[in-house]
Amino acid sequence: KSVKIRYAALITEKNISHQTAKNILSFFQNIGKDLNVLKNITMCRTKCKNIISNVLCSVETERIINNIQNTKFSIFIDETSDIRNEKWMTYFVRYVDPETLDIQSQLVKLINIDAKDCSVEKLFNVFEYKMYKLQIPFLNIIAL
């Protein structure tokens, strides 16, 4: 019983959705079948950030790109700046996932742009180039 209370407290403390609590528990129960895996794993903030940035991000981005290469989608493009005054173009899509039929809203790319020239023409050229590099057909865009 105390393990359940500690688990519920962790979910609350880390502000994790209660809806995902069961999935997280199942995940650790499956890993926990081999206790040595859990005992020997180490994960600091830097390692976790690097795994997310260098592994998970590229895998997820590739999955999204594969989906929108073959699916109609809406696209939202915006320009923003960060605290260092660098300019970024966000490339956000919304589409129906062909496997689950769920509506997905996903950030595809965050593109660094030249802060000296953020004209509409320059933004479009950057966007057009990125679409070409990712092999995403313009004909798949149904709304902008």
pLDDT of residue 104: 94
pLDDT of residue 62: 93
Dihedral angle sign, alpha carbons of residues 119, 123, 126, 128: negative
Distance from C-alpha of 111 to C-alpha of 5, rounded to nearest angstrom = 44
**Three-state SS at 47:** helix
- Kindly list the structural domains of the chain, giving each domain's residue range(s) and its CATH number in brackets, ordered by start: 1-41 (no CATH), 62-140 (3.10.450)
* Whole-model pTM over 0.75: no
pLDDT of residue 122: 84
Distance from C-alpha of 118 to C-alpha of 78, rounded to nearest angstrom = 11
pLDDT of residue 93: 96
Kindly give the parts of the chain with pLDDT less than 50: none
Contacts of 103 (CB under 8 A, 6+ apart): 94, 95, 96, 97
Nearest to 136 by CA among 66, 79, 44, 74: 66
pLDDT of residue 87: 86
pLDDT of residue 1: 74
